[in-house]
Structure formats: structure tokens, C-alpha cells
Amino acid sequence: MTSPEHTPPAFDDLRALPLVDWHPRAQVAVPATEVLRPRVPAIDIHNHLGRWLSDGEWMIPDVDALLAIMDECGVDTIVNLDGMWGDEVTANVERYDTAHPGRFLTFCQLDWAQLSRPDGVELLISSLDDSAARGARGVKVWKNLGLTFRDDDGGLILPDDPRVIAVLQHAGELGLPVLIHSADPKAFFEPLDESNERLDELLQQRDWWFGDPAVHPTFARLLEAHAALVAAAPGTTFIGAHFGCAAEELDRVERMLEASPNYHVDIAGRMAELGRQPRRVAALIARHPDRVLFGTDIYPATAEQYRLHYRFLESADEAFEYAPGSPVPPQGRWNVSALDLDETSLTAIYRDNARRVLGL
């Protein structure tokens, strides 16, 4: 008999609980290592400081406040990927690179829509020359090349298009490294159904789903084009954003690293993926210690996020939140474990690989 003070669990109601309302609290008790500063001063190879992603307003309204965070967290330099082209390159270079020498480096972008013109290659090569003259230190290629830009015949322009190869070969001739983002997480290309592991995220960001084969190439096709471009331009240094755009398929990433000495990857924005296979990631880094770069893709940058990245790289902590404070983890409903990298690997990832790639 149930006492008046006792109310049994509403099992039937809980059986029908919507997934969006389920917020489990982990009960496992694990150590939490605080890493306030990186093993050596860091270069953040992947960040956004400009006006490209913020409706025309500067992503960082107070540059001095950002510099204070960098000093507090041991970040020597941030690469700003938002230079765009023309006068926007100059605006970014003057606001960051020139005003604060050594602390910021600006990468330009390219208007790939120009390739629909007969003289498109020449126009983009000229744009690269102009951006370099304005102070750009590298090139950012975004995922709209492969997913958005179309030719006059309506076909998508993929990264292995001969015209793209010609333009990015010229980047190598100018000494400009190319940081390229060709594909989003693999789940974004999968059917949008109950088995999609990023369903929470895609329901919030519906334009991030690319799983309609009538509209977009497959994940595999984009990564094949990515690899073909890198192989076709051996004189250009490439950085595959987000761990080569294939953090779920590390065998694919490792094949690219082995096939193309000019190829590197950054860790930006992929703690969730890398942290659920930490031993595999650490083994890859041990085999290719000179090809992995530190990047965060956190904007605006915070001390908390930098320290979370340091914990991920340096500690041996297990089963911790990659997005602390989020009721639903944005990149998958799981926790991550740290990589516990040795000092040699940390020094290379935080600083030395980026110095070499950037010509510092």
C-alpha cells in the first residue's frame, strides 16, 4: 500500500519523454585537471576576428580585452581567417596585424563565384596577388566551395576542379598556406532521421544538413575532391580544417597525411569527435607529430575555452564535458576523454608546426 507521502515515479509519462527534454546528469566521479596555460606559448591557427560571420560588425569589439585573454592564457598569436578580399583585407590587417605586431595574422578568402566567368582564374589569381600585397599571410577556403558555388551549367564547383587547383597552386607560389574546410561532420550528410547522431544540432541549425543527394555531393565525394586538390598542388602548404574535415574517419585522414607531405590538419572545433577516440588520435599524432596544429574556432575567445583545450591535449582526464554548461551537448550526446600528449608532441602542436607553416 502506498503512503500518502510517497508518489511513485510516473513511468508511463517518462516513457514518452521527448528527447529534447532529457538532460541526464553523469554520476561517474572522475578527476578534473585544471590547465591554466599551455605547455609552451600557443599559436591558434583557426579563429575568426573579422566581420564575415557577424553581420558586418567586428567579431571582437574590444581588441585590448582579447589581448588580455591571450596574455592570461599563454596565446602568442591568433590567425584571423576573416580577411576576405580587397579593402576588407586591409581593414583586418590594420585593425589586428599592424596595430599589434606578432599577435595576429590575417588570412584572405576568395570569391569563388568569379569562376563562372571566362576569365575567372585570372581574376582570382589577381585577387591573391592583391591580398598578399595588402598583408594577407594565408588563404582560407570555406565549405561553400563544393556545397554552394555553381557553374553556368548549374553544376557545383568542387575543390578538385582544375580552375581551383590553378588558383591554389598560385597561393603556393606566393608562399601563402591554405587552410581549407571542405566538409562538415559526417552526420550532416546522413539521412535526417532517428539514427542521426547529430539530430539535436541539426534541428537547431537546419541549413547545416547536406544529406539530399539531389542537391549536395556526398561526404565521401567532398573528401575525395579535398584529397585530389592537395595532391595536385604539391607546392602549396595545406591545412585541413577540423582535423582534415574527417575527424570521424581517421584512417582517411592518415592516408592523406601519408600521401601528401604538404598536408597538415588542425584540431579546431573537433574536440567532441577526437575526444571519443583519444587513443587513436594520440597514436596518429605520434606517427605524424609535425603535421597537427593547435586551433580552436572559438569566437569570441574566452579563457575558459582555451583552458578546456589545454586540458584536452595535456591531461589524462576521462569522461568530461566538451561543452560545459550546455544542457544538451551541441555536437553529440557524449563526454570526451583527454589525449595525454607528451611534451614533444605538445610543443610541436602548440607552436612549432604553426611557426613552420606560417613562415615565422
pLDDT at 4 over 60: no
Domain boundaries, the chain: 29-358
pTM of the model: 0.94
pLDDT at 327 over 60: yes
User: Residues 47-74: pLDDT tens digits?
Assistant: 999 999 999 999 999 999 999 999 999 9
Q: Which CATH number is 29-358 given?
A: 3.20.20.140
Tell me what the mean pLDDT of segment 132-149 comes to.
96
> Which of 170, 172, 176 shows the shortest CA–CA distance to 132?
176
User: Residues 82-109: pLDDT tens digits?
Assistant: 999 999 999 999 999 999 999 999 999 9
Res. 3 pLDDT band, cuts 50 70 90: low
pLDDT at 2 over 70: no
Tell me the pLDDT of the chain averaged across its residues. Answer: 95
pLDDT at 111 over 90: yes
Long-range CB pairs of 156-161 (<8 Å, 24+ gap) are 156/216, 156/217, 157/112, 157/115, 158/217, 158/221, 158/222, 158/225, 159/222, 159/225, 159/226, 159/228, 159/229, 160/224, 160/225, 160/226, 160/228, 160/229, 160/232, 161/115
Share of residues in the chain with pLDDT > 90 (%): 87
Instruction: Select the more confidently predicted residue: 352 or 4.
Output: 352
Q: What is residue 330's predicted lDDT score, i.e. its pLDDT? A: 86
